[in-house]
């Protein structure tokens, strides 16, 4: 099994476990075993990102202003409220995926 073959089924391996062939590749390939270890670490660390309490509106307003300054978000203008936690969470998740894709 090649690394490309292994990595193409990686999401399924993480969720359900791998076949004997995939497990053999994981044991013999440092690149893929390091990748799986990194992904497991990221998954565990991501659990810590869920805050115990919703940050204050001041925090979200500052994030919004920062995104606007960097050109990553349109000015709030007439919108009421601020970004919710879930929006920021997905932005962070998307950023992690982009970084992961660059790494490969």
Q: What is the pLDDT of residue 78?
A: 42
pTM of the model: 0.46
Higher-confidence position of 102 and 35: 35
Least Cα distance to 63 among 37, 82, 86 occurs for 82
pLDDT at 47 over 60: yes
pLDDT at 5 over 80: yes
CA distances from 46 to 3, 43, 67, 104 (A): 26, 5, 22, 20
Q: What is the pLDDT of residue 31?
A: 93
Neighbours of 64 (CB within 10 A): 19
Q: Where are the domains of the chain?
A: 1-48, 51-104
pLDDT band of residue 72 (cuts 50, 70, 90) is confident
pLDDT at 75 over 90: no
Q: For 49-60, b where at least 16 C-beta lie within 10 A, e where not — what string?
A: eeeeeeeeeeeb
Kindly give, in sequence order, each residue whose CB lies less than 8 Å from that of residue 27, ignoring residues fewer than 6 positions away.
33
- CA-to-CA distance for 75 and 67, rounded, in angstroms? 9
Q: What is the mean pLDDT of residues 70-91?
A: 63
Kindly give, in sequence order, each residue whose CB lies less than 8 Å from that of residue 61, ignoring residues fewer than 6 positions away.
82
């Amino acid at each position: 099994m090649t690394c490309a073959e292994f990595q193409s089924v990686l999401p399924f391996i993480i969720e359900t476990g791998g076949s004997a062939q995939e497990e053999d590749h994981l044991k013999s390939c440092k690149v893929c075993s390091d990748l799986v270890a990194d992904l497991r670490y990221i998954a565990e660390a991501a659990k810590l990102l869920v805050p115990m309490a919703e940050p204050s509106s001041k925090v979200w307003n500052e994030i919004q202003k920062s995104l606007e300054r960097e050109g990553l978000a349109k000015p709030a203008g007439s919108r009421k409220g601020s970004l919710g936690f879930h929006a920021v969470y997905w932005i962070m998740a998307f950023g992690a995926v982009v970084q992961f894709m660059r790494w490969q």
